[in-house]
Amino acid sequence: MKKLFLALFLLTSLSACIRSRTNDFEFYVTPTPDAAILAEIKQIVRQEINRQSENVLALMVAETSIENIRISQDGQYAVGWLIPIDPETNIPVPIEPGLVLLQKIGDDWKVWLPTADGWLELLAQIPNEILSPKHKKEWQKRVGAQIASASPSALSGYKLPWEAGITRRLTQSTCHDQYTPSGNAHYAFDFSTYGELWNIHAARGGVVWLYKDDITTCYEYTCSDKQPLGNYIVIKDTSTDPVSYQLYLHLKQGSIPDELKMQGTPVSQGQFIGNVDNTGQSWGHHLHFQVQVPLYGENYYWGRSIDIVFDDVDINGGRPRVQNAWCNDLTYCDVPGDICSSFRSEYTSQNEVVVEGPILIYFPFISR
Protein backbone atom coordinates (compact mmCIF):
# COMPACT_ATOMS: atom_id res chain seq x y z
CA MET A 1 0.00 0.00 0.00
CA LYS A 2 2.86 2.33 0.92
CA LYS A 3 4.39 1.62 -2.49
CA LEU A 4 1.08 2.43 -4.22
CA PHE A 5 0.83 5.79 -2.39
CA LEU A 6 4.41 6.55 -3.30
CA ALA A 7 3.76 5.69 -6.94
CA LEU A 8 0.58 7.83 -6.97
CA PHE A 9 2.44 10.71 -5.29
CA LEU A 10 5.25 10.55 -7.86
CA LEU A 11 2.76 10.34 -10.74
CA THR A 12 0.77 13.36 -9.45
CA SER A 13 3.94 15.40 -8.91
CA LEU A 14 5.25 14.51 -12.34
CA SER A 15 2.02 15.41 -14.12
CA ALA A 16 1.85 18.72 -12.18
CA CYS A 17 5.39 19.39 -13.20
CA ILE A 18 4.66 18.63 -16.87
CA ARG A 19 1.51 20.82 -16.68
CA SER A 20 3.43 23.74 -15.26
CA ARG A 21 6.07 23.32 -17.94
CA THR A 22 3.54 23.13 -20.76
CA ASN A 23 1.52 26.00 -19.25
CA ASP A 24 4.29 28.47 -19.79
CA PHE A 25 5.41 26.59 -22.94
CA GLU A 26 8.97 27.64 -22.21
CA PHE A 27 10.34 24.20 -22.79
CA TYR A 28 7.83 22.71 -25.16
CA VAL A 29 9.54 20.07 -27.22
CA THR A 30 8.30 19.45 -30.73
CA PRO A 31 8.99 16.22 -32.58
CA THR A 32 12.21 16.32 -34.59
CA PRO A 33 11.15 17.39 -38.07
CA ASP A 34 11.89 15.27 -41.08
CA ALA A 35 15.36 16.12 -42.41
CA ALA A 36 14.11 16.50 -45.99
CA ILE A 37 11.38 18.96 -44.94
CA LEU A 38 13.90 20.90 -42.86
CA ALA A 39 16.25 21.14 -45.83
CA GLU A 40 13.37 22.27 -48.08
CA ILE A 41 12.35 25.00 -45.59
CA LYS A 42 15.92 26.21 -45.20
CA GLN A 43 16.32 26.46 -48.94
CA ILE A 44 13.09 28.43 -49.34
CA VAL A 45 14.03 30.83 -46.52
CA ARG A 46 17.51 31.24 -48.07
CA GLN A 47 15.96 32.15 -51.43
CA GLU A 48 13.79 34.79 -49.75
CA ILE A 49 16.80 36.19 -47.85
CA ASN A 50 18.71 36.53 -51.12
CA ARG A 51 15.77 38.33 -52.72
CA GLN A 52 15.45 40.79 -49.81
CA SER A 53 19.12 41.32 -48.98
CA GLU A 54 19.20 44.69 -50.72
CA ASN A 55 16.62 46.26 -48.48
CA VAL A 56 16.89 44.88 -44.98
CA LEU A 57 19.85 46.11 -42.96
CA ALA A 58 20.26 42.84 -41.10
CA LEU A 59 20.47 40.94 -44.38
CA MET A 60 22.53 43.61 -46.08
CA VAL A 61 25.35 43.88 -43.58
CA ALA A 62 25.66 40.26 -42.53
CA GLU A 63 25.39 36.68 -43.63
CA THR A 64 22.31 35.04 -42.18
CA SER A 65 22.26 31.73 -40.39
CA ILE A 66 18.87 29.96 -40.32
CA GLU A 67 18.48 28.14 -37.01
CA ASN A 68 16.04 26.28 -34.79
CA ILE A 69 13.29 25.59 -37.31
CA ARG A 70 10.12 24.21 -35.77
CA ILE A 71 7.24 22.75 -37.75
CA SER A 72 3.68 22.45 -36.43
CA GLN A 73 2.22 19.00 -35.97
CA ASP A 74 -0.30 19.54 -38.76
CA GLY A 75 2.59 20.50 -41.08
CA GLN A 76 0.98 23.83 -41.97
CA TYR A 77 3.19 26.30 -40.11
CA ALA A 78 6.87 26.71 -39.28
CA VAL A 79 9.05 29.23 -37.46
CA GLY A 80 12.81 29.75 -37.30
CA TRP A 81 15.50 32.12 -36.11
CA LEU A 82 17.54 34.30 -38.44
CA ILE A 83 20.91 34.95 -36.86
CA PRO A 84 23.05 37.67 -38.49
CA ILE A 85 26.67 36.51 -38.76
CA ASP A 86 29.56 38.92 -39.27
CA PRO A 87 31.05 37.81 -42.62
CA GLU A 88 34.57 38.80 -41.53
CA THR A 89 34.75 37.27 -38.06
CA ASN A 90 32.18 34.51 -38.62
CA ILE A 91 30.59 35.22 -35.24
CA PRO A 92 27.00 36.40 -34.62
CA VAL A 93 26.44 40.14 -34.78
CA PRO A 94 25.34 41.30 -31.30
CA ILE A 95 21.78 42.15 -32.30
CA GLU A 96 18.44 40.53 -31.77
CA PRO A 97 17.79 37.67 -34.19
CA GLY A 98 14.82 37.86 -36.50
CA LEU A 99 11.88 35.49 -36.43
CA VAL A 100 10.92 34.00 -39.78
CA LEU A 101 7.40 32.62 -40.22
CA LEU A 102 6.22 30.10 -42.81
CA GLN A 103 2.81 28.90 -43.86
CA LYS A 104 1.95 26.08 -46.23
CA ILE A 105 -0.26 27.37 -49.01
CA GLY A 106 -1.37 24.53 -51.25
CA ASP A 107 1.73 22.39 -51.73
CA ASP A 108 4.21 25.21 -51.20
CA TRP A 109 5.71 26.94 -48.21
CA LYS A 110 5.40 30.74 -48.21
CA VAL A 111 7.95 32.78 -46.24
CA TRP A 112 7.44 35.91 -44.13
CA LEU A 113 10.74 37.51 -43.14
CA PRO A 114 10.50 39.76 -40.05
CA THR A 115 10.05 42.85 -42.23
CA ALA A 116 7.32 41.44 -44.47
CA ASP A 117 3.84 42.87 -44.75
CA GLY A 118 1.37 40.63 -42.90
CA TRP A 119 4.04 39.20 -40.56
CA LEU A 120 2.18 40.37 -37.45
CA GLU A 121 -1.12 38.91 -38.69
CA LEU A 122 0.48 35.55 -39.43
CA LEU A 123 2.19 35.55 -36.03
CA ALA A 124 -1.28 35.38 -34.41
CA GLN A 125 -2.00 32.14 -36.30
CA ILE A 126 1.21 30.34 -35.36
CA PRO A 127 0.36 27.29 -33.20
CA ASN A 128 1.53 27.48 -29.58
CA GLU A 129 3.43 24.23 -29.94
CA ILE A 130 6.07 25.95 -32.09
CA LEU A 131 6.04 29.44 -30.52
CA SER A 132 5.06 29.84 -26.89
CA PRO A 133 2.21 32.24 -26.09
CA LYS A 134 4.65 34.16 -23.91
CA HIS A 135 7.08 34.73 -26.76
CA LYS A 136 4.26 35.42 -29.20
CA LYS A 137 2.92 38.10 -26.86
CA GLU A 138 6.37 39.67 -26.58
CA TRP A 139 6.69 39.84 -30.37
CA GLN A 140 3.14 41.19 -30.75
CA LYS A 141 3.79 43.85 -28.12
CA ARG A 142 7.07 45.01 -29.63
CA VAL A 143 6.08 44.95 -33.28
CA GLY A 144 2.51 46.10 -32.67
CA ALA A 145 3.71 49.04 -30.58
CA GLN A 146 6.22 50.00 -33.23
CA ILE A 147 3.64 49.90 -36.00
CA ALA A 148 1.21 51.95 -33.89
CA SER A 149 3.86 54.56 -33.09
CA ALA A 150 5.25 54.72 -36.63
CA SER A 151 4.93 58.18 -38.07
CA PRO A 152 2.02 58.16 -40.51
CA SER A 153 3.37 61.20 -42.31
CA ALA A 154 6.38 61.27 -44.61
CA LEU A 155 9.80 62.40 -43.41
CA SER A 156 10.87 65.60 -45.14
CA GLY A 157 13.92 67.82 -45.68
CA TYR A 158 15.68 65.60 -48.24
CA LYS A 159 17.37 66.74 -51.44
CA LEU A 160 18.25 64.58 -54.42
CA PRO A 161 21.59 62.85 -53.66
CA TRP A 162 23.81 64.48 -56.29
CA GLU A 163 25.16 67.93 -57.14
CA ALA A 164 22.79 70.88 -57.75
CA GLY A 165 22.07 71.63 -61.38
CA ILE A 166 22.64 68.07 -62.62
CA THR A 167 19.81 65.94 -64.03
CA ARG A 168 19.65 62.19 -63.48
CA ARG A 169 17.13 59.48 -64.26
CA LEU A 170 14.76 57.66 -61.95
CA THR A 171 14.26 54.06 -63.06
CA GLN A 172 11.95 52.81 -60.32
CA SER A 173 10.39 53.78 -57.02
CA THR A 174 7.27 52.06 -55.63
CA CYS A 175 7.84 49.49 -58.37
CA HIS A 176 10.46 47.95 -56.06
CA ASP A 177 7.49 45.93 -54.80
CA GLN A 178 7.73 43.93 -58.00
CA TYR A 179 11.08 42.53 -56.88
CA THR A 180 10.62 42.98 -53.14
CA PRO A 181 7.06 41.81 -52.59
CA SER A 182 7.41 42.21 -48.82
CA GLY A 183 6.89 45.93 -49.45
CA ASN A 184 10.02 46.71 -47.44
CA ALA A 185 11.53 48.75 -50.26
CA HIS A 186 8.23 50.35 -51.28
CA TYR A 187 9.64 53.86 -50.73
CA ALA A 188 13.05 53.21 -52.33
CA PHE A 189 14.45 55.01 -55.38
CA ASP A 190 16.82 53.82 -58.11
CA PHE A 191 18.70 56.71 -59.73
CA SER A 192 21.05 56.25 -62.66
CA THR A 193 22.76 57.85 -65.59
CA TYR A 194 23.75 55.13 -68.00
CA GLY A 195 27.40 54.21 -67.82
CA GLU A 196 28.34 56.93 -65.35
CA LEU A 197 29.83 56.28 -61.92
CA TRP A 198 28.63 59.61 -60.59
CA ASN A 199 29.23 61.27 -57.21
CA ILE A 200 26.71 60.73 -54.44
CA HIS A 201 26.02 63.60 -52.03
CA ALA A 202 24.09 63.14 -48.80
CA ALA A 203 20.35 63.69 -49.21
CA ARG A 204 20.12 64.86 -45.61
CA GLY A 205 22.55 65.21 -42.71
CA GLY A 206 23.33 62.74 -39.96
CA VAL A 207 26.24 60.64 -38.80
CA VAL A 208 27.94 57.64 -40.39
CA TRP A 209 26.47 54.49 -38.90
CA LEU A 210 27.73 51.66 -41.14
CA TYR A 211 29.71 51.42 -44.34
CA LYS A 212 31.38 48.89 -46.60
CA ASP A 213 33.45 49.62 -49.67
CA ASP A 214 35.83 46.69 -50.15
CA ILE A 215 33.68 44.68 -52.57
CA THR A 216 35.23 44.39 -56.02
CA THR A 217 33.57 46.43 -58.71
CA CYS A 218 31.40 44.35 -61.00
CA TYR A 219 31.20 45.69 -64.55
CA GLU A 220 28.76 43.12 -65.85
CA TYR A 221 25.02 42.76 -65.51
CA THR A 222 25.48 39.68 -63.38
CA CYS A 223 26.56 41.18 -60.05
CA SER A 224 23.36 39.96 -58.40
CA ASP A 225 24.35 36.36 -59.12
CA LYS A 226 27.92 36.79 -57.91
CA GLN A 227 27.70 39.19 -54.98
CA PRO A 228 25.23 38.66 -52.15
CA LEU A 229 26.56 41.76 -50.39
CA GLY A 230 27.64 45.02 -52.02
CA ASN A 231 29.21 48.31 -50.90
CA TYR A 232 27.11 50.80 -48.99
CA ILE A 233 27.02 53.66 -46.54
CA VAL A 234 24.28 54.11 -43.96
CA ILE A 235 23.71 57.51 -42.36
CA LYS A 236 21.89 57.68 -39.05
CA ASP A 237 19.69 60.74 -38.50
CA THR A 238 18.57 61.41 -34.93
CA SER A 239 16.83 64.65 -35.91
CA THR A 240 13.83 62.77 -37.31
CA ASP A 241 11.05 61.15 -35.30
CA PRO A 242 11.47 58.20 -35.28
CA VAL A 243 15.26 58.06 -35.72
CA SER A 244 15.89 57.19 -39.36
CA TYR A 245 18.61 55.52 -41.44
CA GLN A 246 19.54 56.57 -44.97
CA LEU A 247 20.72 53.63 -47.09
CA TYR A 248 22.90 54.32 -50.13
CA LEU A 249 23.60 51.02 -51.92
CA HIS A 250 25.74 49.49 -54.73
CA LEU A 251 28.67 51.90 -54.20
CA LYS A 252 32.01 51.76 -56.00
CA GLN A 253 34.86 49.93 -54.32
CA GLY A 254 37.06 52.29 -52.28
CA SER A 255 34.95 55.36 -53.07
CA ILE A 256 33.83 56.32 -49.56
CA PRO A 257 36.12 59.13 -48.32
CA ASP A 258 38.55 57.98 -45.60
CA GLU A 259 37.36 60.68 -43.22
CA LEU A 260 33.88 59.09 -43.20
CA LYS A 261 35.14 55.64 -42.31
CA MET A 262 34.40 55.94 -38.64
CA GLN A 263 31.06 55.38 -36.95
CA GLY A 264 29.59 58.63 -35.64
CA THR A 265 31.37 60.94 -38.10
CA PRO A 266 29.01 63.86 -38.88
CA VAL A 267 27.78 64.15 -42.47
CA SER A 268 26.12 67.29 -43.83
CA GLN A 269 23.44 67.47 -46.49
CA GLY A 270 25.27 67.90 -49.81
CA GLN A 271 28.52 66.31 -48.62
CA PHE A 272 30.24 63.82 -50.97
CA ILE A 273 29.87 60.29 -49.58
CA GLY A 274 30.87 57.90 -52.40
CA ASN A 275 30.42 56.90 -56.04
CA VAL A 276 27.64 55.04 -57.78
CA ASP A 277 28.53 51.61 -59.14
CA ASN A 278 27.13 48.16 -59.59
CA THR A 279 28.09 46.10 -56.53
CA GLY A 280 25.87 43.65 -54.67
CA GLN A 281 22.26 42.89 -55.62
CA SER A 282 22.36 45.15 -58.62
CA TRP A 283 21.75 45.02 -62.35
CA GLY A 284 23.66 47.92 -63.88
CA HIS A 285 25.21 51.07 -62.39
CA HIS A 286 22.73 52.85 -60.17
CA LEU A 287 22.17 54.23 -56.70
CA HIS A 288 19.50 52.55 -54.58
CA PHE A 289 18.41 55.07 -51.97
CA GLN A 290 15.88 54.53 -49.21
CA VAL A 291 15.26 55.79 -45.70
CA GLN A 292 14.16 53.31 -43.10
CA VAL A 293 12.96 53.29 -39.54
CA PRO A 294 13.25 50.49 -36.98
CA LEU A 295 10.50 47.94 -36.80
CA TYR A 296 11.26 46.27 -33.51
CA GLY A 297 11.86 48.91 -30.86
CA GLU A 298 15.56 49.65 -30.77
CA ASN A 299 16.50 46.96 -33.24
CA TYR A 300 17.34 48.97 -36.32
CA TYR A 301 18.55 46.03 -38.37
CA TRP A 302 15.03 44.81 -39.02
CA GLY A 303 13.63 48.11 -40.30
CA ARG A 304 11.34 49.09 -43.15
CA SER A 305 11.48 51.88 -45.71
CA ILE A 306 9.43 55.00 -44.92
CA ASP A 307 7.80 57.57 -47.18
CA ILE A 308 10.05 60.60 -47.71
CA VAL A 309 9.72 63.84 -49.64
CA PHE A 310 12.43 65.83 -51.42
CA ASP A 311 12.52 69.64 -51.25
CA ASP A 312 13.79 69.78 -54.83
CA VAL A 313 11.13 67.56 -56.42
CA ASP A 314 8.02 69.46 -57.49
CA ILE A 315 5.63 66.59 -58.24
CA ASN A 316 3.57 64.42 -55.86
CA GLY A 317 4.45 66.70 -52.93
CA GLY A 318 8.17 65.90 -53.37
CA ARG A 319 7.91 62.21 -54.34
CA PRO A 320 9.73 61.13 -57.52
CA ARG A 321 7.67 58.64 -59.52
CA VAL A 322 8.16 57.16 -62.97
CA GLN A 323 6.16 55.18 -65.48
CA ASN A 324 8.22 53.07 -67.80
CA ALA A 325 8.00 49.90 -69.78
CA TRP A 326 9.84 47.55 -67.44
CA CYS A 327 8.58 48.75 -64.10
CA ASN A 328 5.57 50.97 -63.67
CA ASP A 329 5.39 52.84 -60.34
CA LEU A 330 1.67 53.46 -60.77
CA THR A 331 0.90 49.73 -60.62
CA TYR A 332 2.50 49.48 -57.19
CA CYS A 333 1.32 52.81 -55.81
CA ASP A 334 -1.12 51.01 -53.55
CA VAL A 335 -0.19 51.87 -49.96
CA PRO A 336 -2.69 54.20 -48.20
CA GLY A 337 -1.38 57.76 -48.52
CA ASP A 338 0.62 57.05 -51.69
CA ILE A 339 0.59 59.88 -54.20
CA CYS A 340 1.25 59.00 -57.83
CA SER A 341 -0.59 61.70 -59.71
CA SER A 342 2.40 62.82 -61.79
CA PHE A 343 5.32 61.00 -63.36
CA ARG A 344 8.71 62.02 -64.69
CA SER A 345 11.85 60.11 -65.58
CA GLU A 346 14.38 62.95 -65.14
CA TYR A 347 15.04 65.00 -62.01
CA THR A 348 17.32 67.99 -61.46
CA SER A 349 18.96 68.32 -58.06
CA GLN A 350 19.19 71.50 -55.97
CA ASN A 351 21.49 69.86 -53.44
CA GLU A 352 24.29 72.39 -52.94
CA VAL A 353 27.66 70.70 -52.45
CA VAL A 354 29.09 71.08 -48.99
CA VAL A 355 32.80 70.44 -48.47
CA GLU A 356 33.59 69.31 -44.97
CA GLY A 357 37.09 69.33 -43.62
CA PRO A 358 39.52 71.37 -41.54
CA ILE A 359 38.64 75.05 -41.62
CA LEU A 360 41.62 77.09 -42.82
CA ILE A 361 41.75 80.52 -41.26
CA TYR A 362 43.72 83.09 -43.20
CA PHE A 363 45.72 85.57 -41.16
CA PRO A 364 46.88 88.41 -43.40
CA PHE A 365 50.52 89.31 -43.02
CA ILE A 366 50.77 92.58 -41.24
CA SER A 367 53.88 94.57 -42.09
CA ARG A 368 55.17 97.22 -39.89
Q: Which residues bind Zn ion (CB under 5 A)?
A: 190, 288
Taking the least distance from each CB to Zn ion, the nearer of 190 and 329 is 190
Rounded to 10 degrees, the C-alpha dihedral 153/140/115/205 comes to 40
Taking the least distance from each CB to Zn ion, the nearer of 174 and 316 is 174
Strand partners, 244: 237
Taking the least distance from each CB to Zn ion, the nearer of 70 and 321 is 321
Nearest alpha carbon to residue 44 among 107, 110, 97, 105: 110
Shortest spacing between CB 360 and Zn ion, in angstroms: 39
Give 90-98 contacts, CB < 8 A, sequence gap 24+. 92/65, 93/58, 93/61, 93/62, 93/301, 95/58, 95/299, 95/301, 96/296, 96/299, 96/301, 96/302, 97/67, 98/58, 98/301, 98/302
Would you say 84 and 58 are in contact if contact means Cβ atoms under 8 Å apart?
A: yes
- What separation in angstroms does the CA of 265 have from each of 43, 203, 268, 291, 355? 39, 16, 10, 19, 14
Q: Where are the alpha helices (DSSP H) in 198-321?
A: 223-226
Taking the least distance from each CB to Zn ion, the nearer of 99 and 175 is 175
Rounded distance, CA 289 to CA 368, Å?
A: 57
Rounded distance, CA 66 to CA 90, Å?
A: 14
Q: What is the DSSP string of 199-218?
A: EEE-SS-EEEEEEE--SPP-
Shortest spacing between CB 152 and Zn ion, in angstroms: 24
Q: What is the largest CA-CA distance in the chain?
A: 119
Shortest spacing between CB 288 and Zn ion, in angstroms: 3
Shortest spacing between CB 198 and Zn ion, in angstroms: 16
Shortest spacing between CB 53 and Zn ion, in angstroms: 12
Taking the least distance from each CB to Zn ion, the nearer of 163 and 177 is 177
Q: 316-330 b/e with 16+ CB inside 10 Å = b?
A: bebbbbbeeeebbbe
Write the burial class of residue 167 (CB in 10 Å: 0-12 exposed, 13-18 middle, 19+ buried).
exposed
Shortest spacing between CB 313 and Zn ion, in angstroms: 17
Taking the least distance from each CB to Zn ion, the nearer of 177 and 190 is 190
- What separation in angstroms does the CA of 362 have from each of 356, 359, 365? 17, 10, 9
Shortest spacing between CB 184 and Zn ion, in angstroms: 11
Taking the least distance from each CB to Zn ion, the nearer of 44 and 327 is 327
Shortest spacing between CB 185 and Zn ion, in angstroms: 6
Shortest spacing between CB 289 and Zn ion, in angstroms: 8
Taking the least distance from each CB to Zn ion, the nearer of 52 and 217 is 52
Shortest spacing between CB 95 and Zn ion, in angstroms: 24
Secondary structure of residue 368 in the 3-state scheme: coil
Rounded distance, CA 304 to CA 121, Å?
A: 17
Rounded distance, CA 334 to CA 324, Å?
A: 17
Taking the least distance from each CB to Zn ion, the nearer of 48 and 129 is 48
Taking the least distance from each CB to Zn ion, the nearer of 176 and 236 is 176
Q: Which residue's Cβ has the minimum distance to Zn ion?
A: 288
